Amino acid sequence: MDIPVFEYLAVLQPDDGVSARIKEIKNYFQNEYGCEYAAQLKPHCTLLKFPQYTHLEKQMIKRFESIARTLTPAKLNLDGFGNFPHHTIYVGVDQNPELEKIMKNIKVKLRPFLQKIETLKPVYVKKAHITIARKMNEAQFELAWDEWRNRPFKAIVNAEEILLLKRPLDPETMAATGAYQRVASFKLSGSDTEVEQLLLF
């Protein structure tokens, strides 16, 4: 019997006010430029995307809980728009020590646990961002980027928890077959920070 495989997404989410502003832009991209992959998912800053067997989910949750206890909340400084030519436009997120620590800890502490499954492997985000639209064709990209490249967008987000989402993968094709569903959230409490610092010396 095939063991079910899910695609997991670990993200930081903006507060409701900032999310509403970004959602309005995502809807504009869908309606104005016909971007199919603009308004489908709530605004979020991805930290990690990875495949995992469903029977390992409880173990994985415990690892996220352990990581979150060593981290403190981070301020995300959203500033302007950027792109991945010629298919994605996003809101830029400035790197800062708190955010870099979150990204580094997730990579270092989860890498031994996360393995490649079939053709899929974990993807650790190197440049933090909040996607507006992805999988754009070249015409959509050029039209939208010309309009938005110099538009201002500024916001400060207090990221206080990591949210874990999942969606099922087809066992034969490894393609996503549904929408993301919430698995759990992990408060960045920093309660184990001192313990971690002692272990480093």
Confidence of residue 193 (pLDDT cuts 50, 70, 90): low
Helices (H) and strands (E) in the chain, counts: 5, 9
CA distance 71 to 100: 11
Rg (CA), the chain: 18
Cβ pair 94, 135 in contact under 8 A: no
The answer, yes or no, to whether residue 7 has pLDDT greater than 90, is yes
Domain ranges of the chain: 5-199
User: So what's the architecture of 5-199 in CATH?
Assistant: Alpha-Beta Complex (3.90)
User: What is the per-residue pLDDT for 115?
Assistant: 84
Mean pLDDT to the nearest integer, 115-129 = 91
Cβ pair 47, 4 in contact under 8 A: no
Residue type, 147: E
pTM: 0.91
The answer, yes or no, to whether residue 199 has pLDDT greater than 60, is no
What is the tens place of the pLDDT at every residue in 137-178? 999 999 999 999 999 999 999 999 999 999 999 988 999 988
Cβ pair 122, 114 in contact under 8 A: yes
The answer, yes or no, to whether residue 186 has pLDDT greater than 80, is yes
What is the tens place of the pLDDT at every residue in 56-112? 999 999 999 999 999 999 999 999 999 999 999 999 999 999 999 999 999 999 999
Q: Residue 57: enclosing H or E segment and its boundaries?
A: helix 57-68
- Rounded to 5 degrees, φ, ψ at 53 are -70, 140
Closest CA to 42 of 21, 61, 57: 21
Cβ pair 33, 88 in contact under 8 A: no
- 3-class DSSP state of 91: strand
Mean pLDDT to the nearest integer, 48-53 = 95
**Nearest-10 crossing angle of helices 97-110, 57-68:** 150
User: What is the per-residue pLDDT for 191?
Assistant: 83
Confidence of residue 1 (pLDDT cuts 50, 70, 90): very low
